[in-house]
A and B are shown apart, each in its own frame.
Chain A
């Protein structure tokens, strides 16, 4: 039931004189939407695993780009084009530092984690997975890390193997070791489960996979908002995440890949920007990362994402993680104490997510009643139907937390759930 302590040195309670490491009330003022009322009640936004709200700094950066910097990039010699190119590439460098990648050209801008995964499937996957080969995923993947591989396996007559999870929602490492075999061509797995909140022990998994010369792709969409990610320390081969889940805009995401792998991969899409020269006889592809970025990119998206990462960095991802950990622990205790409520996903190491079901009440009804209280949660299968099957439920209610959520909001959630019980008494 407990969650991982991100940074033990931050666990000490602040003394009366010491400045607070993390002032959540101050943070909340940075997010204009949090002032909103919904159905006459203050908005309690607990659907952050679906998408996060945006701080003013991100909105300002994108407006500034359109008011004072808009031009197409990598093309013109004029002032604005050079300026836009610089800003776009500065955002790439911000992402590189955020993930601690070795090189900026290992950061490919994509639409989101889904496109990042599809890029790898369509290039690396199609080149390396053949008849009778195996792709190894886990039982807690989001549909975005299942379906693209399923399509590939069907095309190549390959086999999709699935590492099971235990009753708490933790990955069965013993089963992973058994399933990892000579036919395994790639391991693709989530860093943090969107439906359960489980943090996967990636370091161990990568070591085991690399011992068999199998590369590892990580879906980091639910991890980057909550825990520090160092792709060099993890030694993973690919890492994908979405900007909008980490306080950036929609439509922008990142695929990190090791240089050597990206270099050897064929391009994903053809078009402008991804070429060095084109004749009707032959096209020479551009260098990394541009080889994978056909067409005019989502410039303001990249700039917005850069601003979002700057925002998180200014607070410190460790501080963010420690705060969220505290709120999640508080919520876990409070919600699990409500009679008739069962938590789905009780891994020892968790981040951001509290999934639950209630005796005799369908999650959809929970969602509607909470909404009337101004509380936004997600109900349904969370694009992870196989996870629901593991736990024998058609759907769950999911509260998911971000850096601006408070214990008072958890109290509101608990009152809302009590109201659900009253209506259905």
Chain B
């Protein structure tokens, strides 16, 4: 049986209660909305891009502990990174939460994001962990329509 504490790690709970970069971004030149219609989660991700560089990134919205903490930690880990870095990090994060990184020596160090490794034991929660990242992708691509996890 999976231990609940593997999913709800202290860092995750802490971020869900006090999310970082949780505000509208006045200088944003990219933004996107993301929904998880299954559970009603709804986030907006704001980006200030300078060329290919993520100058600033914030988010707002409502969701479960996993989705909110994931959004919060995503914004922390992407400030100052390039679009390409962000895409790569999302790919690795996705592998992490879907369990594809398990026992894989090639898996790069995920830093703080490694706390989400417990998500792979809870397939129903993968969409929660990736909602902010999907929304980020839409914002980077400048898509106008809201993205949905379904």
A residues apposed to B, CB below 8 Å: 39-40, 360-365, 368-369, 372, 379-381, 385, 388, 394-395, 423-424
Contacts and interface: CB of A to CB of B under 8 A. Distances in A.
Interface stretch (B58-66, B95-103, B134-142): B58-66
Given A368-B124, A388-B40, 5 more contacts: A40-B1, A362-B39, A362-B63, A368-B7, A369-B8
A385 to B, nearest CB: 8
A144 to B, nearest CB: 16
A372 B2 contact: yes
A362 B8 CA distance: 13
A395 B40 contact: yes
Interface residues of B, number: 23
B8 to A, nearest CB: 5
Nearest to B17: A360
A364 to B, nearest CB: 4
Contacts of A363: 39, 64
A388 B4 CA distance: 28
A365 B40 contact: no
Contacts of B64: 362-365
Given A364-B64, A364-B128, A423 B40 contact: no
Q: Which of A368, A379, A388 has the most chain B CB atoms inside 10 A of its CB? A: A368
A362 B125 CA distance: 13
Interface in B106-130: 122, 124-125, 128
Given A361-B65, A364-B128, A395 B39 contact: yes
Contact of B39 (A40, A369, A379, A423): A379
Given A364-B39, A368-B7, A369-B4, A424 B124 contact: no
A368 B39 contact: no
Interface of B: 1-2, 4-5, 7-8, 13, 17, 38-42, 62-66, 68, 122, 124-125, 128
Given A364-B128, A369-B4, A424 B65 contact: yes
A424 B7 CA distance: 12
Contact of A380 (B40, B62, B122): B40
Contacts of B38: 380
A372 B128 contact: no
Contacts of B41: 364, 394
A194 to B, nearest CB: 16
A394 B4 contact: no
Contact of A368 (B1, B13, B62, B125): B125
Nearest to A360: B17
B4 A381 contact: no
B44 to A, nearest CB: 14
Q: Which of B2, B38, B40 has the most chain A CB atoms inside 10 A of its CB? A: B40
